[in-house]
Amino acid sequence: MSAILEASNLAVAMGGKTILQPLSLSFPAGRFVALLGPNGAGKTTALKALAGLIPATGNVTLLGKNLAKLAPRERAKSIAYLPQGHAVHWPLSARDVVALGRYPHGVADPAKLSRRDAEAVDCAMARTDCTHLAHQPVQVLSGGERARVMLARVLATEAPILLADEPTAALDPRHQITVMDDLKGESRRGALVIAVTHDIALAARMADEIVLLHEGRLIAHGPPDAVLTDAHLAEIYGVSVARPIIDGQPVLLPWRLS
Amino acid sequence: MTERTGQAGAGAPKAQRLWLVPALLGLVIALFLASLATGPVRLSVAELLAALLGKGDEAHRVILMDIRLPRAILAVAIGFMLGLAGAAMQGLLRNPLAAPSLFGAPQAAAFSAVVTISLGLNDALSWGLPIAAILGAFASVFLLVAIAGRNASLLLLILAGLAVSSLAGAGTALAMNLAANPFAALEIAFWLMGSLEDRSIRHVTLVLPFILVASVLLYLQRGAFRALSLGEEAAASLGVAVERLRFIVILGVALGVGASVAVAGTIAFIGLIAPHLMRPLVNHDPARLLLPAGLAGAALLLAADIAVRIIPAQSDIKVGVLTSIIGVPFFLLLIVRQRRSLAGGVA
């Protein structure tokens, strides 16, 4: 399988301090990848470097093209990035926020979308179940609703690569599952989805691949069973896990400090 | 911003308010004509029209073309520039309290102007003062970039702006302090208050190109301001060159507002009030805000400039003083609202 996104010797240093040690990773299209690691492991940094949003050394290639050499709009058409926190600084309507996902495609005014752009916006909102929120200002939405609107914004770009930084943080269990389901759905439609998360159990259950980082270093990259071993979890998270069988499937459960 | 957003939500969902820009244009035109009609010599509508078309009484023509027309044009241009610059700054900073003076360009322009006055290089028809002021505004941009560095963060730029404006303020004070005679100091003080009195068509031709270029420069960034609603990181991921955008806004504001200061002195608060008045009418969209904010700025400055001519006073009130007097209570209102929204826990 040929890689859609490839990093070779990607490293990040800020203020003379190395935040991300050189790492090389390669991802094919259509996979759902969870980026795991304890706080301070460099997950967000790695994600931003992969998105080309922060200065980094090494190379990221996007469908064989050097990411650093792409024009910002071209890069934005290929990589949709969902930052942490879901901040919106003005009380824009949900639909206007989602329409910003079409900005890389040259949409200047969300009030005047072309049919193609409107279709992408409506489709993204339908997929994340927020069509009914379209005309509400995002500021009045609940955390779960806002998370869905922000996810729709990223989907509206229709980028082949989707990077999400803790998309389930501060969400109730229902919305955690909804958002992860939506992201997985995108990967099944052919996109490469990489999501940073702290939810080891959800990642183990849903992701195709796990990338495990610790103190700025790549520890392991592979299928969940191969990466989320007792040894890794004890060494990196300092926890021991239980693996009860639910619905015939082993479920990973952080149990106690190891 | 809980309450206000609640109101926006209750409003018609797709209300585009297509009447807004035409209505503001109408208001500006009406105030423009009112400004032409205002002055010690009363002119009837017929006399006004005749003089505008180059007919009628010679004295009326001179009053209109040489005295009132430049004043009214400057009020429109400078008011528009201040409103637009305010909206652009607020869009860039994602903060309704940001003003065009934040990066120090107006203060630097004022400082250079004051230096030419105190050195006695300025006489009624001299180009020295406005050109010095524009150069001062430009110098402030270079100083800002030199202090904050290229690709500086917003916080660093705000701090550098504070340093630049403090330096310009100190320089202005020093120039007044060292002024050759009390009259020079008084002239500086009056000039700093901001006025559109006794400006000629030459001032108009000097300032207009700068305002035009600056307005186009800022207006072209409207899509980027909307993307910035999601924060700098998300905007960058959408393809906005955030660092370039910052530089363009700083440059545009310095160009336009610097040129405005060059001919009119410092006129405060229009850049803060105009965008804020218009924001609810454009559903808080920072991109759709730009044009209405500019027009509202033009209307505000025209109105203020008419008011200073009507208000009976022993010596005439400077328009910059009036905008400040009206502006401060408004600013307080803004802060109180901000405080309430912060207390509401939704920031």
B94–A72 CB contact, under 8 Å = no
Across the interface, do A137 and B2 touch by the CB < 8 Å criterion?
Answer: no
Confirm if B140 and B161 have CB atoms less than 8 A apart. Answer: no
pLDDT > 70 fraction of chain A, expressed in percent and rounded: 100
The pairing of strands A79-82 and A161-165 is parallel
CB atoms within 10 A of CB A65: 13
Contact list in B for residue A167 (CB cut-off 8 A) is none
Q: Does domain B2-11+18-343 have CATH number 3.40.50.1010?
A: no
Return the minimum-mean-pLDDT range out of A173-177, B15-19, B130-134.
B15-19
User: For the segment B134-181, what is each residue's pLDDT rounded down to a tens digit?
Assistant: 899 999 988 998 888 877 788 899 999 999 999 999 999 998 888 878
Q: Quick check: A72 and B236 CB within 8 A?
A: yes
A257's enclosing H/E stretch is: strand A253-257
- Nearest residue of B to residue A75, measured between CA atoms: B239
Phi, psi of B194 (to 5 degrees): 85, 120
Please enumerate in sequence order all residues whose Cβ is within 8 A of that of B346, keeping only pairs 6 or more positions apart, or say none. Answer: A139, B1, B2
pLDDT at A154 over 90: yes
Q: B interface toward A at CB cutoff 8 Å?
A: 1-2, 4-6, 8-9, 13-14, 16, 94-95, 222-223, 226-231, 233-234, 236-241, 283-288, 346
Euclidean distance between CA atoms B269 and B99, whole angstroms? 8
| Angle at CA of residue B173, ends B167 and B175, nearest 5° | 100
- Mean pLDDT check: name the lowest of A31-45, B87-101, B139-153: B139-153
- Residue A194's DSSP bridge partners are A33, A163
Could you give the CA distance from residue A146 to residue A154 in angstroms, rounded to a whole number?
13
- How much is the pLDDT for B176? 87
If you ran DSSP here, which 8-state letter would residue A137 be given? B
- A101 chain-B contacts, CB cut-off 8 A: 238
Nearest residue of chain A to residue B244 (CA atoms): A72
Residues of A within 8 A of B240 (CB-CB) are 72, 103
pLDDT in tens, B233-263: 999 999 999 989 999 999 999 999 999 998 9
Question: Structure tokens of B263?
Answer: 């001919």
Query: Where does chain B show beta strands of DSSP type E?
Result: none
DSSP string, A55-105: --EEEEEETTEEGGGS-HHHHHHHEEEE-TT---SS--BHHHHHHGGGGGG
- Structure tokens belonging to residue B282: 């454009």
Which of B6, B222, B234 lies at the smallest CB-CB distance from A83? B234
Q: In this complex, how many residue pairs, one in chain A and one in chain B, have their CB atoms less than 8 Å apart?
A: 106
Question: What is the SS3 assignment for A106?
Answer: coil
Tokens in use for A21?
């040690």
Chain A residues closer than 8 Å to B95 by CB: 89
Contact residues, chain B, for A87 at CB < 8 Å: 230-231
* Dihedral sign (CA B248, B250, B253, B255): negative
Residue A148 tokens, joined: 């869905």
Model ipTM value: 0.91
Residues in chain B: 347
- pLDDT averaged over every residue in chain A: 92
Q: What is the mean pLDDT of residues B307-315?
A: 84
Say whether pLDDT at A11 is over 90: yes
Q: A217, A211 in Cβ contact below 8 A?
A: no
Please provide the average confidence, as pLDDT, over all residues in chain B: 86
Nearest to A98 by CA among A108, A83, A114, A110: A110
Tokens of B235: 């905007």
Average pLDDT (A34-58) is 93
DSSP string, B260-286: HHHHH----SHHHHHHHHHGGGGTT-T
Structure tokens at B338: 């901000």
Q: Do A72 and B241 touch (CB under 8 A)?
A: yes
**Residue to test with chain A: of B1, B4, B153, B230, most A Cβ within 10 A:** B230
Decide if pLDDT at A160 tops 90: yes
Closest CA to B141 of B104, B167, B96, B174: B104
Tell me if residue A24 falls in helix, strand or coil.
strand
State whether B226 and A97 contact (CB < 8 Å). Answer: no
Closest of B99, B95, B103, B94 to residue B228, by C-alpha = B94
| Burial degree of A184 (CB within 10 A; 0-12, 13-18, 19+) | middle
Cβ separation of B237 and A83 shorter than 8 Å? yes
Site from A103, A154, A166 to mutate, B interface, most B CB atoms within 10 angstroms: A103
Give the Cα separation of B104 and B162 in Å (integer): 7
For the residues A45-68, what does the mean pLDDT come to?
93
Contact B278, A115 (CB under 8 A): no
Within chain A, residue ranges assigned H as helices are 43-51, 72-78, 94-99, 115-127, 143-156, 173-188, 200-206, 224-227, 230-236
Average pLDDT over residues B303-323: 87
Residue of chain B minimizing CA distance to A150 = B230
pLDDT of residue B185: 85
Residue B12 near residue B48, CB atoms below 8 Å? no
User: Nearest-CA neighbor of A147 among A182, A192, A113, A118?
Assistant: A182
Cβ B238–A51 below 8 Å, yes or no? no
Domain boundaries, chain B: 2-11+18-343
A155 pLDDT tier (thresholds 50, 70, 90)? very high
CB B31 within 8 A of CB B305: no
CA distance, residue A242 to nearest chain B CA (Å):
38
> How many CB atoms sit inside 10 A of residue B315's CB?
6
pLDDT band at A116 (very low <50, low <70, confident <90, very high): very high
Q: Report the gap between the CA of B153 and the closest CA in chain A (Å).
A: 13
Strand partners, A195: A34, A164
pLDDT tens figures, B51-83: 888 887 888 888 888 889 999 999 999 999 999
Whether residue B8 and residue A137 make contact (CB cut-off 8 A), yes or no, is yes
Backbone angles phi, psi at B175, to 5 degrees: -60, -40
Which region holds residue B241: left if phi is over 0, alpha if psi is between -120 and 50, else beta?
A: beta
